[in-house]
Amino acid sequence: MKPKTGKPNRQVERTKSWIFEAVMLLMDEKPYEKITVSDIAEKAGIARPTFYRNFNDKDDVIFEYLMNTFSTEVLNMEKGNKDDKQDTIILEFNRKYMTKHQKIIKKILFTADIESRIHREGQKWPMSFIDQYKSKLSEHEYLVCRYKISYQITGSLRVVFDWFINDMPMPIEDIVTMLNAMNIPKTIQYRNLPSILVRLKDE
């Protein structure tokens, strides 16, 4: 799922908000797997066709919220300077936003069993960054680049999700330091590949 672009449609955003709130309320009433689209539509005060104009299924509702939480500038590219020609892909987390939404994110991750989808969809995020290297690298280097970035980004997200589920047991600064220490280091053999940097912002 791509981050939102362009001017949002207020009615669409309002309808999606109703749908998401309905799912959250229903998750307090029954197991996630027993929630139906009809349940959601009734709770949100909308018709089933309206639900399907906005989402494919209930997992879509949950997944869009998570992606909106983490995909706002969660990935960006910094070009290497003259001294360091290696580009850097930034995986950035907003401390204030994560803290503000902690309870909802934990509820989603703990209750809705969509981790496999998070992992699958998360693999797509870095592809736009990786593809720009395709013409510059050998086939072997490109595959190393693809797997390296996919491994590091999805692995970092998995750690952060686990951190949420377990009530943030470590300071976020320690998590960021740990993730950077665990990243695959630059090597002479693959010096043309971008590096990964996990960064924290307070905005």
State the Cα–Cα distance between residues 170 and 175, nearest whole angstrom: 7
State the Cα–Cα distance between residues 100 and 91, nearest whole angstrom: 19
Q: Are 109 and 164 in contact (CB under 8 A)?
A: yes
Say what the pLDDT of residue 5 is: 43
- Tell me what the mean pLDDT of segment 47-53 comes to: 96
Tokens of 71: 């995909």
DSSP secondary structure letters along 72-84:
SSSEEEE---SS-
Using alpha carbons, select from 129, 159, 124, 147 the residue that is nearest to residue 2. Answer: 124
Tell me the pLDDT tens digit for each residue of 100-126. Answer: 888 888 888 877 767 677 667 666 666
Tokens of 189: 């053999």
Instruction: Please report where in the chains the tokens 């969509």 appear, as a residue.
Output: 114
State the Cα–Cα distance between residues 101 and 35, nearest whole angstrom: 23
Tell me the pLDDT tens digit for each residue of 5-46. Answer: 445 588 999 999 999 999 999 999 999 999 999 999 999 999
Q: Three-class SS of residue 167?
A: coil
DSSP secondary structure letters along 91-103:
EEEEHHHHHHTHH
Higher pLDDT, 58 or 90: 58
State the Cα–Cα distance between residues 202 and 113, nearest whole angstrom: 30
Q: For residue 140, what are the contacts with CB-CB under 8 A and spacing of at least 6?
A: none
Tokens of 29: 């009433």
Model confidence at 4: pLDDT above 50: no
Sign of the alpha-carbon dihedral angle for 56, 61, 67, 72: positive
